[in-house]
């Protein structure tokens, strides 16, 4: 196990390194930040000064080495636009995105699990078919479109919820959170629902599929034969069994949710990381883009590693040593 | 833990009390802008939203009114003492937000800081570079020496916000963004700043000019157009800028909303490939083979393309009335506007005849490029032009891309004909002439945005003379002459000049600005006198 | 993105899979009327898309046929030349929405199906290879998958499109690059379990060639989770393409897909010109629902564990 762990860690480090190169090259292939950032009225001399000030006069490999050297010391560079450390900018915005993503995950579980369970237990009832058809809406409607519809209905027409923004926040542990205030919660409702749409569909479908398969398993038949109540069978035996894959997937999806919050955040003017990255892409703020992508990469790799390890512990048939 | 809970509780109570956007007290304003403010350091990054916020916190020696005319600000008056010396008399008794006195030393300090802000992606040094020497005559008199006659000095200094020599001696950009350094002489003090989200201001009670109508201002950034309009309709904000043209009709008919508009200074035009004599990359004959010579070198072809565009239709149908057809850089009433240079009338038959005369009776094929996220309706405008040209016999393909990739390619002369916009912030003709149609010249600093590489010695000569001329009337005549030559030669192909539109809840009034800036001091309760 | 998922954690032993005869498959599929309806709907949509040039009143991709003076007309208006009726209204360029939707279906379907099939081919082969070969190959491929999955789909697509430029083929390429890893992960998860089963050992004992074992024995048993992922990914690809168009990076503006039509009309929703965005939205929805109705039934029919 230790050997396996060590090897995975080494591999993860290699992935991070390769990824840093790819990200760097990818980000540096798009456009010319000086053209975007500089005032249109700037003359040629001012343009040359800006290129130098941003360190863009060096050859690409030198820029990469400078970046790598600093990155090893935990410094991902200064934002071109804000002249502040890119890492700090992102960490500042992280709580906003985290609470949105956690909220969306909770909504998905709270709505998705019961509906999926029902649809799995009664696969042929019209309600189940309705649930399943409804879940298709969750991933076929474009997020940005649903977001605007929500705003139009609940903020503009009905006036129940604030249209955009984050509302009042409270500082806890040095970070600003909005789920602790009433106003903040009201602001969170629509973006959270918007972001959870896809995830909810996913949970419904996974739960339904899991329940249908598990109900036919021998141990469920035995439980029935033993005369256990249907409720006990459903909630203790079946539920416990399907929870593992569902939670695994939701865990894996968490990173994706954070990445995908880009669209939701820009529709709802939610000042999170996703909004920051879209703004940064629009002005080609390369240090922020690179730092953001590196953070995402690290996060995903960590999640994957944890999932794989849990997996091998849970299911002895999958031996991750991968020797044949 | 108890502390956390108490904090949460008090936060909740606070949240109850301060529902944002509600006009709880008459002197509070919540406004939303479409472009994010990136820095509160007035010398770090030259960008319209930054300028607007800087003008709320700081002041310059000179300023512009809603029609881009120069007016006094921290300087009460100015004059050219001789050909290379400008003298500014400063307003006495002005204090910074922290009580520090404003004197000529502060101006000298500011001019010294401007070119030396570290890491600046777009500095204001272009406005201070002509100054060779700053002479502090007395506490409220200042002389600026230039190497050559420089008539644009008062115009340029509008952009330079004055800092305090004592307060800002060691100021960093971070210090401004965080708040402690955001100390100026402007109508508002900065209270707090949440990057990319909102800035809170309160009134500067000691402001030397007209006191603003608002005790507190929340300046929010909502970049998504539809979300911004929705926030106004929902009453979450009371004022928005950059109203999307698609919402204009609806907002005009909404009794809860009022609009404020003015013809702006931004010209939308097509730049043409003047750099290549031989084949241009996106022009081909009707079989798709490259043409041996670049037809855009022929003034008859350029004129024909201009005649084939129905500017009225674009203004009415695409811009939904939020623009005026253009035949030159600036709208009527501006300094150096040429009164008899009208927009080219729509004449598709005449265009076909001119094309035939130029040797293209069957037309040719061309690709029109443009951005899709930069100017209002940019991608729609180029499609509409594509329709018109195709009907006039020039088979047009249309390609729109995000500004980030578009502008890099345009800067490398990769396109044959492409859509651009230019905001003449100074409101006079030398600005677009120097940047868009002058032959690119590093030493003079001309033509840096001339991406089509238009070059005409006559335009250059007239402009050169104008830039040495301190007499306003003579300078205007020279600039008018240069403008006429450039447009009769179709150096660039003008389309329309945008109108700037703001929308607000009924009960507010706004003094619109031609330079597109959105500032809280321009908004008042309706009925109040300015 | 995502749905990765659907496959790998569900990868559990399956009852001995038998190659089902086609007829039995069809009769089982037909058990669900809903699925048959979905299939009928899907075939109808495909037919409409294929026949678009003959049934659409206008060629919405030919700028010379559009007229901005006909822009934003309500459904049921007559065109300027008075030759036909805009049954579903027009968009801002004067493009007939009905024609736009018919042509847009072709783009959306080919982008969705094209990218899903290509991604499935690439992903499934690599996943299978990883599971079967194990060791270093497995490690390399799975790290590649991690690499890919660690990249937000939108950002990856954004960069790829910035590199390649716009265009339908480029969108497909970007979607394949973004999505192959899901298939690879799914297939590997299933295959890892399957290859330890007796029938594979038996096949190995018979000294069958590796290729034959992989394609004739291993692959069919990995199909059910692949189909689950596949049907969701087709829908996902179409929706992702719409989002890319919303961000200004999808297909060319003069050849709009359903997603681009929706994104274009999005700006007119507040002003009450609902038809520009609404009808393409309905078309997109119906398409995706029909694909999923078919996909759901396929999955149930193909899943041996649901057989009593």
Q: What is the average pLDDT value for chain A, to the nearest integer?
A: 82
B177 vs A: CB within 8 A: yes
> Who's near A145: CB < 8 A, 6+ residues apart?
C242, C262, C266, C277, C281
Helix (H, G, I), strand (E, B) or coil at C167: coil
Domain range for residue B300? 264-498
Q: Which two tokens stand for residue A43?
A: 């003359």
Question: Within the 252-291 window of chain C, which residues sit less than 8 Å (CB to CB) from chain B?
Answer: 252-254, 266-273
Q: Crossing angle, helix A86-121 and helix A286-314, to 10 degrees?
A: 40
Pairing of strands B492-505, B70-72: unpaired
B234 → closest Cβ in A46, A80, A156? A156
Q: Is there a single domain that holds both residue A54 and residue A121?
A: no
C248 contacts B397? CB cut-off 8 A: no
Closest Cα partner for B466 from B491, B444, B443?
A: B444
Q: What is the pLDDT of residue A317?
A: 54
Interface probe for C, chosen from A5, A28, A133, A136 (most Cβ of C below 10 Å), is: A136
User: What is the band of C20 on the pLDDT scale with cuts at 50, 70, 90?
Assistant: low
A249 contacts C4? CB cut-off 8 A: yes
Count of beta carbons in the 10 Å neighbourhood of residue C14: 18
Interface probe for B, chosen from C64, C170, C247 (most Cβ of B below 10 Å), is: C64
Domain range for residue A162? 86-314
DSSP C267-307: TTTTTT-THHHHHHHHHHHHHHHHHHHHHHHHHHHH-GGG-
Neighboring chain B residues of C70 at a CB cutoff of 8 Å: none
Closest Cα partner for A210 from A240, A165, A180?
A: A240
Last residue of a domain, one of A50, A72, A94: A72
C176 vs A: CB within 8 A: no
Separation in Å, CA of A34 to nearest CA in chain B: 7
Q: From residue C185, how far is each of A251, C14, C127, C190 by CA, in Å? A: 15, 18, 6, 9
Q: What is the pLDDT of residue A322?
A: 43
User: Which residue from B minimizes the CA distance to A85?
Assistant: B174
Strands (DSSP E) found in A95-237: 170-172, 175-177
Q: Report if residue A79 sits inside a domain.
A: no
C154 vs A: CB within 8 A: yes
Q: Report if residue A112 sits inside a domain.
A: yes
Q: What is the average pLDDT value for chain B, to the nearest integer?
A: 91
Count of beta carbons in the 10 Å neighbourhood of residue A231: 8
DSSP label at C209? Answer: -
> How far, in whole angstroms, is CA A200 from its chain's centroid?
14
Neighboring chain C residues of A19 at a CB cutoff of 8 Å: 147, 150-151
Q: How many residues does chain B have?
A: 530
Interior angle at CA B244, CA B243 and CA B247, nearest 5: 95
Q: Report if residue B12 sits inside a domain.
A: no
Q: Report if residue A298 sits inside a domain.
A: yes
The complex scores an ipTM of: 0.84
Interface probe for B, chosen from A29, A48, A79, A82 (most Cβ of B below 10 Å), is: A82
Q: Report if residue B529 sits inside a domain.
A: no
Q: Does residue B5 have a pLDDT over 60?
A: no
User: What is the band of A311 on the pLDDT scale with cuts at 50, 70, 90?
Assistant: low
Q: Does residue B347 have a pLDDT over 80?
A: yes
What burial letters (b/e) apply to A157-179, b meaning 16+ CB within 10 Å?
A: eeeebbbbbbbbbbebeeebbbb
Q: Is there a single domain that holds both residue A174 and residue A230?
A: yes
A18 contacts C10? CB cut-off 8 A: no
Closest Cα partner for C238 from C265, C215, C262?
A: C262
- pLDDT tens per residue, range A64-89: 998 888 888 888 889 998 888 999 89
Interface probe for A, chosen from C140, C159, C241 (most Cβ of A below 10 Å), is: C159
Q: Is there a single domain that holds both residue A97 and residue A49?
A: no
Instruction: List phi, psi (to 5°) of B205.
Output: -65, -20
Q: Is there a single domain that holds both residue A124 and residue A218?
A: yes
- pLDDT tens per residue, range B284-342: 999 989 888 999 999 999 999 999 999 999 999 999 999 999 999 999 999 999 999 99
Q: What is the CATH number of the domain that holds B311?
A: 3.10.105.10
Q: Report if residue A77 sits inside a domain.
A: no
A253 → closest Cβ in C2, C259, C293? C2
User: What is the band of B267 on the pLDDT scale with cuts at 50, 70, 90?
Assistant: very high
- pLDDT tens per residue, range C215-268: 777 777 777 778 777 877 887 788 788 888 777 777 888 889 888 898 888 888
Q: Does residue A324 have a pLDDT over 70?
A: no
With beta carbons less than 8 A apart as the criterion, state whether C293 and C271 touch: no
Q: What is the pLDDT of residue B256?
A: 92
Q: What is the CATH number of the domain that holds A213?
A: 1.10.3720.10
Neighboring chain B residues of C63 at a CB cutoff of 8 Å: 383, 386-387, 390, 396, 398
Q: Is there a single domain that holds both residue A50 and residue A139?
A: no
Q: Which two tokens stand for residue B146?
A: 């230039």
Mean pLDDT of A210-231: 79
Q: What is the pLDDT of residue C306?
A: 62
Rounded Cα distance between C196 and B49, Å, is 63
Instruction: List phi, psi (to 5°) of B370.
Output: -170, 165
A162 contacts B20? CB cut-off 8 A: yes
Q: Which two tokens stand for residue C166?
A: 């716009």
Q: Report if residue A319 sits inside a domain.
A: no
Rounded Cα distance between A84 and A89, Å, is 7
Q: Which two tokens stand for residue B218?
A: 């929340």
Q: Report if residue B340 sits inside a domain.
A: yes
Q: Report if residue B354 sits inside a domain.
A: yes
Q: Is there a single domain that holds both residue A134 and residue A280?
A: yes
User: What is the band of A316 on the pLDDT scale with cuts at 50, 70, 90?
Assistant: low
Lowest model confidence (mean pLDDT) among B169-183, C151-165, C168-182: C151-165
Q: Does residue B17 have a pLDDT over 50?
A: no
Q: What is the pLDDT of residue B478?
A: 96
Q: Is there a single domain that holds both residue A62 and residue A169?
A: no
With beta carbons less than 8 A apart as the criterion, state whether B401 and B372 touch: yes
A152 contacts C269? CB cut-off 8 A: yes
**Chains A–B, number of C-beta pairs less than 8 Å apart:** 205
Instruction: List phi, psi (to 5°) of B492.
Output: -130, 160
Most confident of A38-47, A87-96, B27-36: B27-36
Q: What is the pLDDT of residue A321?
A: 46
Mean pLDDT of B398-416: 91
Last residue of a domain, one of A72, A98, A122: A72
Question: Which has more pLDDT, A28 or B468?
Answer: B468
Q: What is the pLDDT of residue B21?
A: 43
Q: Report if residue B251 sits inside a domain.
A: no
Closest Cα partner for C233 from B440, A139, A280, B3?
A: A139
**Chains A–C, number of C-beta pairs less than 8 Å apart:** 165
B404 vs A: CB within 8 A: yes
Q: What is the pLDDT of residue C6?
A: 38
Question: Which has more pLDDT, B215 or A228?
Answer: B215
Q: Which two tokens stand for residue B270?
A: 């097509």
- What domain count does chain A have? 2
Rounded Cα distance between B50 and B42, Å, is 7
pTM of structure: 0.87
Lowest model confidence (mean pLDDT) among A249-258, B103-112, B405-414: A249-258
Q: Report if residue A323 sits inside a domain.
A: no
Tell me what percent of chain A is helix, strand and coil, each rounded to the nearest 5: 75, 0, 25
- What domain count does chain B have? 1
Q: Report if residue A81 sits inside a domain.
A: no
Last residue of a domain, one of A72, A98, A113: A72
Neighboring chain B residues of A35 at a CB cutoff of 8 Å: 407-408, 411
Q: What is the pLDDT of residue C273?
A: 85
Rounded Cα distance between A130 and C289, Å, is 12
Which contiguous run of DSSP H or E holds residue B423? Answer: strand B417-423
User: What is the band of C5 on the pLDDT scale with cuts at 50, 70, 90?
Assistant: very low
Q: What is the average pLDDT value for chain C, to the nearest integer?
A: 80
Express as a percent the part of chain B with pLDDT over 90.
83
C248 contacts B372? CB cut-off 8 A: yes
Q: Does residue B18 have a pLDDT over 80?
A: no
User: Which residue from A minimizes the CA distance to C134?
Assistant: A322
């Amino acid at each position: 196990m230790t050997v396996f762990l060590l090897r995975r860690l080494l591999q993860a480090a290699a992935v991070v390194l390769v990824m840093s190169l790819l990200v760097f090259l990818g980000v540096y292939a798009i456009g010319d930040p000086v053209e975007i950032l500089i005032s249109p009225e700037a003359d040629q001399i001012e343009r040359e000064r800006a290129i130098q000030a941003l360190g863009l006069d060096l050859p690409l490999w030198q820029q990469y080495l400078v970046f790598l050297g600093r990155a090893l010391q935990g410094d991902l560079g200064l934002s071109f636009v804000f002249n502040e450390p890119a890492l700090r900018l992102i960490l500042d915005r992280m709580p906003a995105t985290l609470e949105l993503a956690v909220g969306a995950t909770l909504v998905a579980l709270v709505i998705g699990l019961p509906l999926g369970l029902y649809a799995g237990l009664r696969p042929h009832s019209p309600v189940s078919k309705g649930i399943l058809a409804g879940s298709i809406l969750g991933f076929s409607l474009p997020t940005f479109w649903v977001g605007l519809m929500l705003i139009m209905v609940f903020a503009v027409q009905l006036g129940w919820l604030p249209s955009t923004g984050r509302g009042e926040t409270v500082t806890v542990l040095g970070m600003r959170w909005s789920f602790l205030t009433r106003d903040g919660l009201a602001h969170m409702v629509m973006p959270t629902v918007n972001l959870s749409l896809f995830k909810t569909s996913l949970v419904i479908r996974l739960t339904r599929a899991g329940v249908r398969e598990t109900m036919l398993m021998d141990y469920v038949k035995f439980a029935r034969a033993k005369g256990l109540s249907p409720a006990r069978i459903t909630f203790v035996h079946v539920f416990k069994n399907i929870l593992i894959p569902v939670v695994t997937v939701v865990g894996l999806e968490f990173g994706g949710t954070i990445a995908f919050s880009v669209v939701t955040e820009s529709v709802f003017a939610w000042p999170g990381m996703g909004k920051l990255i879209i703004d940064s892409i629009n002005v080609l703020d390369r240090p922020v883009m690179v730092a953001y992508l590196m953070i995402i990469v690290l996060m995903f790799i960590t999640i994957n590693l944890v999932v794989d390890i849990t997996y091998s512990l849970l299911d002895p048939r999958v031996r991750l040593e991968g020797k044949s | 833990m108890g502390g956390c809970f108490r904090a949460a509780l008090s936060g909740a109570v606070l949240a109850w009390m301060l529902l944002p956007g509600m006009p709880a007290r008459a002197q509070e304003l919540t406004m939303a802008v479409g472009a994010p403010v990136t820095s509160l350091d007035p010398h770090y990054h030259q960008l319209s939203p930054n300028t607007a916020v800087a003008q709320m916190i700081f002041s310059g020696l000179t300023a512009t009114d809603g029609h881009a005319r120069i007016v006094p600000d921290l300087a009460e008056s100015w004059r050219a003492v001789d050909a290379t010396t400008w003298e500014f008399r400063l307003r006495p008794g002005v204090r910074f937000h922290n009580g520090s006195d404003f004197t000529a030393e502060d101006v000298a300090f500011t001019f010294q800081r401007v070119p030396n802000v570290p890491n600046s992606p777009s500095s204001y040094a272009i406005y201070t570079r002509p100054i060779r020497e700053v002479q502090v005559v007395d506490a409220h008199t200042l002389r600026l020496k230039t190497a050559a006659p420089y008539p644009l000095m008062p115009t340029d200094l509008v952009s330079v916000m004055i800092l305090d020599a004592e307060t800002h001696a060691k100021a960093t950009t971070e210090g401004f963004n965080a708040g402690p350094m955001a100390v100026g002489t402007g109508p508002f003090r900065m209270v707090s700043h949440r990057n990319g989200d909102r800035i809170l201001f309160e009134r500067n009670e000691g402001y030397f000019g007209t006191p603003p109508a608002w005790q507190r201002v929340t300046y929010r950034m909502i970049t998504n157009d539809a979300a911004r309009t929705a926030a106004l309709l929902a009453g979450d904000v009371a004022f928005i800028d950059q109203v999307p043209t698609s919402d204009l009709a609806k907002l005009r008919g909404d009794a809860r909303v009022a609009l404020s508009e003015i013809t702006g200074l931004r010209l939308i035009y097509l730049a043409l490939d003047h750099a290549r004599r031989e084949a241009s990359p996106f022009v081909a004959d009707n079989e798709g083979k490259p043409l041996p010579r670049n037809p855009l070198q022929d003034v008859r072809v350029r004129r024909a393309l201009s005649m084939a565009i129905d500017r009225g239709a674009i203004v009415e149908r695409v811009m939904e009335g939020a623009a005026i057809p253009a035949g030159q850089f600036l709208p009527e009433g501006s300094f150096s506007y040429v009164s008899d240079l009208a927009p080219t009338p729509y004449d598709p038959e005449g265009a076909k005849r001119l094309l035939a005369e130029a040797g293209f009776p069957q037309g040719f094929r061309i690709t029109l490029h443009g951005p899709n996220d930069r100017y209002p309706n940019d991608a729609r405008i180029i499609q509409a032009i594509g329709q018109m040209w195709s009907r006039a016999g020039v088979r047009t393909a249309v390609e729109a891309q995000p500004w980030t990739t578009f502008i890099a390619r345009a800067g490398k002369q990769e396109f044959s004909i492409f859509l651009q916009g230019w905001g003449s912030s100074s409101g006079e003709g030398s600005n677009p002439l120097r940047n868009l149609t002058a032959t690119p010249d590093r030493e003079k600093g001309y033509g840096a945005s001339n991406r089509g590489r238009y070059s005409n010695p006559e335009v250059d000569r007239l402009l050169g003379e104008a830039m040495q001329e301190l007499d306003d009337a003579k300078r205007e005549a020279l600039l008018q002459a240069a403008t006429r030559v450039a447009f009769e030669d179709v150096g660039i192909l003008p389309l329309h000049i945008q109108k700037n539109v703001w929308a607000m809840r009924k009960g507010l009034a706004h003094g619109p600005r031609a330079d597109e800036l959105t500032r809280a001091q321009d908004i008042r309760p309706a009925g109040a006198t300015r | 993105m995502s749905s990765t998922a659907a496959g790998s954690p569900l990868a559990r032993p399956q009852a001995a899979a038998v190659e089902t005869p086609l007829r039995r498959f069809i009769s089982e599929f037909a058990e669900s009327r809903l699925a048959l309806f979905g299939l009928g709907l899907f075939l109808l949509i495909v037919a409409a898309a294929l026949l678009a040039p003959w049934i659409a009143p206008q060629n919405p991709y030919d700028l010379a046929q559009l007229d901005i003076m006909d822009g934003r007309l309500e459904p049921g208006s007559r065109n300027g030349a008075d030759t036909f009726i805009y049954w579903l209204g027009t968009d801002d360029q004067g493009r007939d929405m009905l024609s736009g939707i018919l042509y847009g279906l072709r783009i959306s379907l080919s982008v969705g199906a094209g990218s899903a099939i290509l991604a499935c081919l690439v992903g499934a082969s690599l996943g299978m290879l990883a599971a079967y070969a194990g060791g270093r190959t497995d490690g390399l491929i799975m790290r590649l998958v991690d690499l890919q999955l660690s990249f937000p789909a939108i950002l990856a697509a954004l960069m790829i499109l910035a590199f390649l430029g716009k265009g339908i083929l480029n969108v497909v390429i970007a979607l394949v690059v973004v999505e192959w890893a899901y298939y690879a992960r799914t297939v590997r998860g299933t295959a890892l379990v399957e290859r330890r089963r007796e029938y594979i050992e038996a096949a190995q004992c018979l000294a069958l060639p590796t290729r034959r074992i992989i394609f004739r024995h291993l692959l069919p048993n990995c199909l059910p989770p692949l189909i689950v992922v596949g049907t969701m990914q087709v829908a996902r690809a179409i929706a992702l393409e719409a989002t890319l168009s919303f961000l200004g990076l999808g297909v060319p503006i003069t050849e709009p897909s359903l997603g681009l039509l929706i994104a274009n009309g999005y700006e007119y929703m507040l002003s009450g010109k609902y038809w520009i965005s609404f009808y393409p939205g309905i078309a997109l929805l119906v398409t995706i629902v029909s694909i999923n109705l078919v996909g759901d039934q396929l999955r149930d029919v193909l899943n041996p564990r649901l057989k009593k």
